[in-house]
């Protein structure tokens, strides 16, 4: 497989041609092992891992088959088309979304809604409930009281006094040496990414890089730990630790 190619795969009922899940990976063997990891099956309560657990109780496991090989920048569209095609043919897929990044198109069924409702009944923590206006005011009062008790309460009189004293004063700017030192302390690693055209870009200042190319910073950071992950056609190449100056 070329470096910029990925696989669209399917998980099937063992010994049959019944497809149950469609996904994407650049390493089918590793991805299949990840699906079968016991800790994932225990911690995840998704439709996919519930199905894998049912097979496990029968001493069975799903079968992986490669459906197609596509360029990395086209995998989202290819996965969506495959999922749509299989559902139109009547396949009972355990995918909760339409494919691609995130959970696009996910809609809980009526049964799922009932299960979630039953699960919240008797919840003492009252997760997901709205707090009344009186409750919000009580929380604000409690936070203000705690601030005063911890000596961090700042009165308006003190604010006005400090404003008058500091008015017209210029902040002392840090010297260039200090600025460079701060920058080095935050830049422990350098990242290399491959853009959609195949050119490798080395990143020194991560936030500036994401702003320049209109990329999501959290997605790009996640890509550095998941090699089978891509974002807007960009893929991860390597991460290099910057050596401290002697």
The set of residues, in sequence order, having a beta carbon less than 8 Å from that of 79 and lying 6+ positions away, is 8, 22, 23, 24, 99, 100
Q: Which residues pair with 23 in a beta bridge?
A: 9
pLDDT value at residue 11: 94
Range 5-18 average pLDDT: 91
**Verdict on whether the full-model pTM lies above 0.95:** no
| pLDDT > 70: percent of the chain | 68
Q: Is pLDDT of 97 > 50?
A: yes
Task: Return d(Cα 69, Cα 209) in angstroms, integer.
Answer: 30
Render pLDDT for 105-122 as a digit per residue (tens, 0 to 9). 556 667 777 777 776 666
Render pLDDT for 29-47 as a digit per residue (tens, 0 to 9). 888 888 887 645 555 667 8
Considering the domain 5-99, what is its CATH architecture? Answer: 3-Layer(aba) Sandwich (3.40)
The set of residues, in sequence order, having a beta carbon less than 8 Å from that of 198 and lying 6+ positions away, is 4
Tokens linked to 141: 């009062």
- Does residue 95 or residue 242 have the better pLDDT? 95
Render pLDDT for 203-234 as a digit per residue (tens, 0 to 9). 777 778 888 888 887 777 777 765 556 778 88
Among 126-130, 165-169, 202-206, name the one with the lowest average pLDDT. Answer: 126-130
Task: Return d(Cα 158, Cα 147) in angstroms, integer.
Answer: 15
Tokens linked to 13: 């009922």
Q: Cβ atoms within 10 A of the Cβ of 153, count?
A: 12
pLDDT value at residue 122: 65
pLDDT value at residue 178: 65
φ, ψ of residue 164 to 5 degrees: the values are -65, -40
pLDDT value at residue 225: 66
Class of the domain covering 181-241: mainly alpha
Sorted by where each begins, the domain ranges of the chain are: 5-99, 181-241
Q: Is pLDDT of 246 > 50?
A: no
Rama region for 159: left / alpha / beta (φ>0; ψ in -120 to 50; rest): alpha
For residue 231, how far is the Cα from the chain centroid? 11
For 73-90, what is the HEC assignment?
Answer: HHHHHHHHHHHHHHHHCC
Task: Return d(Cα 113, Cα 241) in angstroms, integer.
Answer: 47
Q: Is pLDDT of 92 > 80?
A: yes
What average pLDDT does the chain have?
76
| pLDDT > 90: percent of the chain | 12
Task: Return d(Cα 10, Cα 23) in angstroms, integer.
Answer: 6
């Amino acid at each position: 497989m070329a470096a910029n190619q990925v696989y669209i795969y399917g998980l099937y009922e063992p010994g049959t041609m019944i497809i149950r899940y469609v996904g994407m990976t650049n390493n089918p063997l590793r991805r299949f092992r990840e699906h079968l990891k016991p800790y994932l099956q225990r911690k995840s309560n998704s439709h996919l891992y519930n199905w894998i657990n049912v097979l496990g109780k029968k001493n069975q496991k799903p079968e992986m088959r490669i459906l197609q090989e596509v360029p990395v920048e086209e995998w989202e569209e290819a996965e969506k088309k495959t999922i749509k095609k299989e559902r139109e043919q009547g396949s009972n897929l355990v995918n909760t979304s339409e494919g691609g990044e995130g959970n696009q198109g996910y809609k809980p069924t009526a049964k799922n809604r009932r299960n979630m409702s039953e699960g919240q009944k008797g919840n003492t923590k009252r997760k997901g409930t709205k707090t009344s206006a009186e409750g919000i005011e009580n929380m604000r009062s409690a936070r203000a009281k705690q601030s005063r008790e911890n000596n961090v309460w700042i009165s308006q009189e003190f604010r006005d006094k400090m404003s008058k004293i500091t008015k017209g004063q210029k902040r002392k700017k840090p010297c260039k040496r200090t600025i460079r030192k701060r920058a080095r302390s935050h830049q422990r690693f350098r990242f290399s990414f491959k853009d959609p055209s195949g050119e490798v870009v080395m990143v020194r200042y991560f936030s500036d890089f994401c702003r320049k190319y209109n990329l999501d910073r959290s997605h790009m950071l996640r890509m550095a730990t998941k090699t089978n992950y891509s974002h807007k056609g960009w893929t991860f190449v390597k991460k290099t630790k910057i050596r401290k100056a002697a």
